[in-house]
Amino acid sequence: MEQVVIVGGAIMGSFAAWSLRQQGFAGGITVVEKDSSYRFCSTALSAASIRTQFGTPVNIHMSLYGVDFFRKIKAHFGDAADIGYKENGYLILGGPETIAARQAGVAMQRVEGADIDALMPDALAQRFPQMQFDDVGIGTFGQTGEGWFDAWSLLSLVRRAARDAGVRYIEAEATGLNASGAQVTGVRLASGDVLPCDWCVNAAGAASARLVSGLGIALPVSPRKRTVFSFRAPVSPQGFPMLFDSSGIWIRPEGAGFIGGIQPPADQDPDATGDFEPHHHLMQDPYWPLLANRIPAMENLRLERAWAGHYEVNALDHNGILGPHDSLRNLIFTTGFSGHGVMHAPAAGRAVAEWITGGAFKTLDVTALGWNRIRDNQPMPETVVY
C-alpha cells in the first residue's frame, strides 16, 4: 500500500490530504504537524481574503476555483459548514501614472474570467463616498468573486474531513528528508524516527526551505513577518471593500470593526524565523496617517489589538511553487505562495492530489508554477502583491 507523507498540517497540507481521498487515493496518508494548536501557523494568523485581481493568469484561475469552492462549502463539508464567506470585493487604487497598465490588467483579468471593473475618480467617489481620491488615477474593483472568510473555520473543516476519511495527523517536527537515487524514501523527525514514504509533499510553509536544504535543494522561500492591526472607527463596515491603497496600506471589515496593515520597508523585513512580535510602531507611522488621508473619518480610530503572522515569501517571483521536483519525482511542492496561499489552498490541494493519483494536472493546468522555473532561475513575477 502506497504511503504519502505530508509535511505541514495547516491549510495547504490539509487540503492536499483531503483532496487525495477525494481523488480516490486508498493508501496511507500521514500529515506531520509540529504544533497541533496551530497557534503560530500562517493560516490562523492570516487576513483570510480571496481576490481574482492578479497579474498572473494561473493565479486568477486558482482564485476562481477557490471562489466556487467557498460558495459551495456546504456541499463539500455538510450543511453545518460555515466559513463566514463575504463577497464585498477588492478595491485596488493606483495613481494617474498607472492608468494604462491597470486598464490592460483588467482587460486580461476579464479574459481569464474575473469580474473586474475599472473606475475613474468620479465613479470611485460616487461609489465609496467615505474615501477621498484626489491623488488617484484609477481604481479596480472586483464586483463578484472577491472577499474574505474565516480561515480558522476553513482549516477546521478540511482537517476534520481529512481525518474522517482516514488521514492520520501526528504532532512532530520534521527535520529533513532521506533520499536514495531519484526518490525521497523517508521523512526524518526530531525524535529520531523516520516515516517511510512513496510520496512526500512539502507543505511546510515558511519552513519549507529548511526541510529540503539537506538534499541540496535551494528553495527561495523564507518567513517574512506581517502585522495585522484590529481597530474600531466611526465608519460603517457595511458594504466596505477590502482596500489595497496606492500608499501600500490595506484595510477590510472584520466583525463590527476593521483589520489592516502595511508591509515594513524592504530593508527592515528580514527572515522572521521564530519572531511573532507585531510591528507595533507601524501603526503610528506610517499606517494611521496614510489611512486617515484616504478615509478622513479613520483619524478617530481606536486600536484594539495587533498580531503578527508569517508570509512564506518566494523571493524569486512571489508566486507559489506547485508540483514535482525534476529529479526527485516523488517530492511534491505546495509552498511559497507569498501571502495568497489560503485563498489558493483548495486549488493547490486538488492539483497535488491529481498529480499523485494520475501524474497530471487535470482540473487546472498549474504547470507554470512548477519547480523548473526555480531551478532555472526564470521568474514569473506576480505584479499584484500586498
Mean pLDDT, to the nearest integer, of 35-62? 93
Do both 194 and 240 map to the same domain? Answer: no
Q: What angle do CA 154, 158, 162 make, to 5 degrees?
A: 170
Do both 210 and 97 map to the same domain? Answer: no
The string of pLDDT tens digits covering residues 54-102 is 999 999 999 999 999 999 999 999 999 999 999 999 999 999 999 999 9
- Whether 105 is covered by a domain: the verdict is yes
Residue 126: which domain range? 86-144+235-311
Do both 156 and 301 map to the same domain? Answer: no
Do both 291 and 324 map to the same domain? Answer: no
Last residue of a domain, one of 257, 289, 311: 311
Rounded CA gap, 249 and 309, in Å? 17
Which set of grid coordinates corresponds to residue 64? Answer: 476562481
Q: What is each CA distance from 271 to 206, 280, 314, 315, in whole angstroms? A: 10, 18, 12, 11
pLDDT score for 45: 86
Query: Up-side HSE of residue 146: CA atoms within 13 Å toward CB?
Result: 28
Q: What is each CA distance from 268 to 221, 224, 272, 274, in whole angstroms? A: 17, 10, 11, 16
CATH code assigned at 107: 3.30.9.10
- Whether 74 is covered by a domain: the verdict is no
Q: Are 315 and 222 in contact (CB under 8 A)?
A: yes
Do both 280 and 305 map to the same domain? Answer: yes
Residue 104 has pLDDT above 90, yes or no: yes
CATH code assigned at 322: 3.50.50.60
Do both 268 and 284 map to the same domain? Answer: yes
pLDDT score for 155: 97
pLDDT score for 44: 87
Count Cβ neighbours within 10 Å for each residue of 163-200 and write b for 16 or more, e otherwise. Answer: eeeebebeebebebbbbeeebbebbbbeeeeebebbbb
Which set of grid coordinates corresponds to residue 141? Answer: 474593483
Do both 261 and 140 map to the same domain? Answer: yes
Do both 103 and 40 map to the same domain? Answer: no
- Whether 22 is covered by a domain: the verdict is yes
Tell me the sheet residues that pair with 180: 183
The string of pLDDT tens digits covering residues 145-174 is 999 999 999 999 999 999 999 999 999 999
- Whether 90 is covered by a domain: the verdict is yes
Helices and strands: H and E segment counts in the chain: 11, 19
Rounded CA gap, 310 and 40, in Å? 8
Rounded CA gap, 199 and 323, in Å? 12
- Whether 356 is covered by a domain: the verdict is yes
Tell me the sheet residues that pair with 11: none
- Whether 55 is covered by a domain: the verdict is yes
The C-alpha torsion from 273 through 276 and 320 to 17, rounded to 10°, is 100
Count structural domains, the chain. 2
Mean pLDDT, the chain, as a whole number? 97
Do both 284 and 240 map to the same domain? Answer: yes
Last residue of a domain, one of 294, 311, 328: 311
Residue 385 has pLDDT above 90, yes or no: no
- Whether 380 is covered by a domain: the verdict is no
Residue 384 has pLDDT above 90, yes or no: no
Last residue of a domain, one of 291, 311, 331: 311
Burial category of 303 from C-beta neighbours within 10 Å (exposed 0-12, middle 13-18, buried 19 and up): middle
Nearest of 61, 56, 340 to residue 226 by alpha carbon: 340
- Whether 81 is covered by a domain: the verdict is no
Do both 302 and 165 map to the same domain? Answer: no
Do both 121 and 160 map to the same domain? Answer: no
Do both 173 and 301 map to the same domain? Answer: no
